[in-house]
Each structure stands twice: as structure tokens, then as C-alpha cells.
Amino acid sequence: MSSLPQPLRLRREVSPLELFYDLVFVFAVSQLSHHLLEHLTWRGAAETAVLLVAVFGTWAYTSYEATFLDVHRQVTRWMIVIAMGLGLFMNAAIPGAFDDRAWAFVIPLLAILFFAGAVTALAARTDALREHFRRTLIWMAASAPLWITGAAVGSDPRLWWWAAAALIDLTGTWLAHPLPGRTLSSRELAFDADHMLERLRLFFIILLGETVLTAGRAMSEAPVDLPSVLATAGVFIALVSLWAAYFGGGEDVITTAVATTTDPVRSVRLGVNSGYLVLAALVALAVGSELAIAHPTEHDSVTLALLLFGGPVLYLATTAWFFGTTTGGAWKERLLACFALAATGVAAVRLLPLASLALLDLILITTAVILTRTHRRLTNSLKTAITD
């Protein structure tokens, strides 16, 4: 059992305001997918990756801070509402961020980060939390000049400046914003880990929902014929299978594992860290799905194969890492599925999109069925370990 005192193991329901806030970032996912679709090159992929780090980073920072502060406090509610308004402007600028809307993207981005960080550094309930978020502000101050310089220069060098800024932000998140001699000691922090995990689960469902909407929009623009209908059905089956690969008992495994850990903050941090790659995987799959629905009988390409199969590979590899580090199980099955998808993706370069989708669905359905059984066994073993 966890060694945390009971008062430190908080539990609050996810509030309607937090779900309302998440909708702004669902809009961002649509914008990121559109940007990648319009720039299907390696540079376009790099631009999308940089923007993704910034967008998901702002969601992760503010969601963490709202969880630490308690969403029922007035100061937390005002922080969320203001960050939501700024986020709407930031996400609206994504398609032109590397063209003529660089400042329209950077100014709201930095405003969200510094505003939410300052609120938490001042209003957190404990000295340890206030000190941690002061360190977070220092990390943000290190990347801010790079974001600003990137916005000031031309579009070609902008990618390099923003990539460096995104790398600093990403490193800070992965390492919990340490400074020399000053690190986050999370074992004795009062933190609602269940609440933050629920935020991640709900956000993931919303991301999958946005991918479904992308498929629907692609179908509405495609001819009403059998190939397009079959391609849309194939995309839908793939998304349902990806949903089942986690929600087919996976959330029970994670919840049980977090309930027994002595450091729930670390488990949530691993979940947030994996969220960057999960989001990237779903963006790639959304773009690949849109291409497959629009051209279901044209000859496949390396780009389409990378998107259709690379997205699920990245998703399953990331969740394999997350399950392996938090529960110690349910990762081998995911890695085996990754190898099967990678091998099939190579062959898919010579197949029609419809045939590629059929093979993708076969692998993902099999993976979901196997993982559902694996999750059930792993949950039972974890619960047995609790009672022993």
C-alpha cells in the first residue's frame, strides 16, 4: 500500500470548467492536423512537432497547476478562464505560425505560461509547491527569448529558434524543472493523482473524438461511393481498436498501480510525458486517415504508409513504455504489435490504401483483444499484491 498519509491522498471530481477548457485544445489538434496535411514534408512534420510541444505543454502546465491549486478555489477558476481565452487566440494562429502569424502564436503562448506559473508560485498552499513553481518560471524564462527571437526572424530560421525553445520546455517537463541542488521531492506532496489521471483519460478520449471528426469531414468531401465508405469504416475500426487498447481494462491497471505507489506524482508525470507522443501519434493517424479516405483506390505511398502505420506504432510504443514503467506489465504485447505494424507498413508502400487499412484493422483488433485479457490479469495480480 502507499506510504502517503491519507490526508495527502486527495480525490476531486473533474469539473465542467476543466472539460470546457480542454475544448480549446481539441481545436488545437484539428489545427495541427491541418498544418501537417498542408505541409506533407519533413520540414512540415518538424514544424508540426514544434507547435505540438508548445500546445500540449501549455495544456499540461495549466492542468497540473489547476490540480495543485484545487479547481474549486476562485483564483484557480480565474486562471483557467484567462488561460482558456489566451489559448483560443494561440491555437487559432497555428496555421500561420510559420508564416505571418508568428507573434499571434507566441504572445498568447508566453502569456499563458508566465501567468499560470506566477499564479501557482504565489497561490500554492505549501512552501514546497511555491518553490517548485518558481523554478518552473526560471525554465520558462530560459526558453522565452528563443520563442521571441524566432517570431522576430524570417520563416526559414524560425524553425530552428522555436525548436530550441521547445526542446528546453520539453526537457523541463520531463525532468520536473530541476535547478542545481534544487529538485522536486514529490513523495510527500499533497497531490490528487486520480484527478490528473482522469484529466489525461478524458483528454485522450477527446483527442480520439477529434480524429473521428476528421474522418467524418474527409468523408463529407469525398465522393459517395463504395471505396470511400469502406475507407471511412476502416479508419473508424482502427480508432475504436486504439480506444479499446487502453480503455479495455488499461485504465483499471493504471488506477490500481497508482493507488499502491509511494510517489503518485511521478506516475502522473510519466503519463503527461507520454502524452506528447500520444498526441503526435493521433495527429499522424488523423492525417493518414484523411488521405486514405480522399484517395482510397490510388496507389499507396511512403508518406501514407508512414502516417497510417507510424501513428499506431508510436502510440503503442509510447503506451508500452508508460505501462512498463508504472505497472511492470502489458508492455510486451504492445511491442509485438509495433513490430507487426512496422513490417506491414513496409509492405503497405506497394498496396492500395483500402488494403492497407484492412491489414491495419486486423492487427489493431487482435492487439485490442489480447490487451483486454492482459489488462484483466494484470489488474487482478496488482489487487492480490495489495491484499497480501
Q: What is the pLDDT of residue 1?
A: 39
Q: Each residue of 361-383: pLDDT tens digit?
A: 999 999 999 999 999 999 988 88
Q: Is the pLDDT of residue 186 over 70?
A: no
Q: What is the pTM (predicted TM-score) of this model?
A: 0.91
For the chain, percent of residues with pLDDT exceeding 70: 94
**Which residue type, as a one-letter code, is found at position 149?**
T
Any idea what DSSP says for residue 179?
Answer: B
**Which residue type, as a one-letter code, is found at position 316?**
L
Joined together, the cell numbers standing for residue 177 give: 524543472
Query: DSSP H helical segments within 153-263, as ranges?
Result: 155-175, 193-221, 226-247, 250-260
Rounded to 5 degrees, φ, ψ at 298 are -80, 160
Q: What is the mean pLDDT of the chain?
A: 88
185 or 348: which leads in pLDDT: 348
Nearest to 275 by CA among 81, 4, 63, 75: 63
223 burial level (CB within 10 Å; 0-12, 13-18, 19+):
exposed
CB atoms within 10 A of CB 149: 17
Bridge partners of 182, per DSSP, are 179
Q: Is the pLDDT of residue 117 over 80?
A: yes
Confidence of residue 184 (pLDDT cuts 50, 70, 90): low
Q: Is the pLDDT of residue 55 over 90?
A: yes
Q: What is the pLDDT of residue 167?
A: 97
62 or 259: which leads in pLDDT: 62
Confidence of residue 223 (pLDDT cuts 50, 70, 90): confident
Task: Provide Rg for the chain, Cα atoms.
Answer: 21
Confidence of residue 102 (pLDDT cuts 50, 70, 90): very high
Joined together, the cell numbers standing for residue 383 give: 489487487
Confidence of residue 388 (pLDDT cuts 50, 70, 90): low
Q: Is the pLDDT of residue 387 over 70?
A: no
* 2-6, 78-82, 223-227, 297-301: range with lowest mean pLDDT: 2-6
Q: Is the pLDDT of residue 153 over 50?
A: yes
Any idea what DSSP says for residue 328?
Answer: S
Nearest to 131 by CA among 177, 94, 74: 177
Q: What is the pLDDT of residue 309?
A: 96
Any idea what DSSP says for residue 71?
Answer: T
Confidence of residue 5 (pLDDT cuts 50, 70, 90): very low
Joined together, the cell numbers standing for residue 81 give: 478562464
- CB 88 within 8 Å of CB 27: yes
Q: What is the mean pLDDT of residues 98-115?
A: 95
* 52-61, 88-97, 220-229, 239-248: range with lowest mean pLDDT: 220-229
What lies within 8 Å, CB to CB, of 346 at 6+ separation is 305
Give, in degrees to the nearest 5, the angle at Cα 38 between 34 and 42. 110
Q: Is the pLDDT of residue 344 over 90?
A: yes
Rounded to 5 degrees, φ, ψ at 179 are -130, 160
Counting Cα atoms < 13 Å in the Cβ hemisphere of 86 gives 22
**Which residue type, as a one-letter code, is found at position 64?**
Y
305 or 301: which leads in pLDDT: 305
Longest dimension (CA), the chain: 64
Q: What is the pLDDT of residue 214?
A: 81
Confidence of residue 313 (pLDDT cuts 50, 70, 90): very high
216 or 79: which leads in pLDDT: 79
Q: What is the mean pLDDT of residues 27-38?
A: 90
Q: Is the pLDDT of residue 90 over 70?
A: yes
Q: What is the mean pLDDT of residues 69-92?
A: 90
Q: Is the pLDDT of residue 203 over 70?
A: yes
Q: What is the mean pLDDT of residues 31-46?
A: 93
